[in-house]
Amino acid sequence: MREHIFAYVTMANTKLFDADDQRYRITPSQQMLCSCLGALTTSTLVTPLDVVKIRLQAQHRTVAPNRCFIYCNGLMDHCIICVNGQSKALNSPISKEQWYRRPGQFTGTLDAFVKIIKTEGVFSLWSGLSPTLVLALPATVVYFTTYEQLRCFMKDRREVENSLFYHKPVWLTSLLAGATARTWAVTVVSPLELIRTKMQSRKLSYREIGVAVRDLVKNRGLQGLWQGLPPSLMRDVPFSALYWASYETYKKSFTSSEITMFQSFIGGAFSGMLAAVVTLPFDVVKTLRQLEFGDSLGSGESLRKASTTKQLFQRIYRQQGIGGLFVGLVPRVAKIAPACAIMISSYEYGKYYFTLRNKQMLEET
């Protein structure tokens, strides 16, 4: 194991092997394990930053009952609803401790880190993480595995056939694979996200959740399970398309078939920043939609009163002008860049490890 780590970190421009070689290319199950490695590493390192941010914000404002706020574990944004003053776990009908309302007089980010660890224990920096992973982990696995399968499929066709993708550059095939993979992942997860939000909005048992879902399908049809899909697609699909196009182009600039962990970290951060800036207006609308949806569930209002994506765009433009669509640029980039960097570098390490392992097993047979 130590040899694999050393080889990956120190490898520079020496072409050891092609990781996309069909003889020892990683399998779908290995791609899933790599995705899990990246997802767990990212959430472990990024979640404390968001927990501290929420705690700092909480000491300056009161979160009213039936209101909600956004919690990010580095993989997905989650809407946490406070029902009658009680914070509800994202994937459980059981009330949890209001970790974000614990008293603390913090003067800044570093001071908050030190005081939380000293008075509440180091594990308080990961408050609320476990329930969010129930949804975020499968979504990440589906997304990365689908992307890798599509990318390899397009690459193989480009190399051996005069096909649709034969004359297409790397950035375009990566853009198509990234957009398709994200569309599939978001579509698969959207009904689960709807169910999760319903579970946290009221004290519902798992049987009652089943009844609520059947009623939803009865009243609105199967499409009711995907009622929050359009704004998610508007933000996530362009982001993924731009991210993978820029990252794969960055990788292509190196002469070696593999890049070091540091190089993939830099490429992930840069690509994440670029995609975050371009897709910021869609993120603003998506966040408002999440908060509005969560507030309506928490207060028991009808979901029919929710604003459409077009109405939200018009409202923001009318009230704040074009600048309103780019509010929160610095915080978004500061959150996205490290998350993308950690995720892709962890994933690339896992990919390299399994590829080298497959190559060694092939040579031994």
Give 244-275 pLDDT, tens digit per residue: 999 999 998 886 656 788 999 999 999 999 99
Q: Once rounded to an integer, what is the mean pLDDT over residues 174-202?
A: 81
Q: Once rounded to an integer, what is the mean pLDDT over residues 47-63?
A: 73
pLDDT reported for residue 147 = 96
Q: d(Cα 318, Cα 327) in Å, to the nearest integer? A: 14
Helix (H, G, I), strand (E, B) or coil at 17: coil
Q: Once rounded to an integer, what is the mean pLDDT over residues 111-117?
A: 86
Token pair, residue 314, equals 């018009």
Residue 163, phi then psi, degrees to nearest 5: -105, -170
Least confident of 126-140, 167-181, 198-212, 330-344: 198-212
Q: Is the per-residue pLDDT at 97 higher than 60?
A: no
Q: Calculate the average pLDDT of the chain.
A: 77
Q: 20-24, 72-76, 117-121, 347-351: which has the highest mean pLDDT? A: 347-351
- The answer for residues whose C-beta is within 8 angstroms of residue 73's C-beta and 6 or more apart is 43, 46, 47, 50, 129, 132, 133, 136
Least confident of 114-118, 145-149, 203-207, 286-290: 203-207
Q: Is the per-residue pLDDT at 121 higher than 50?
A: yes
pLDDT reported for residue 257 = 57
Q: Is the per-residue pLDDT at 120 higher than 90?
A: no
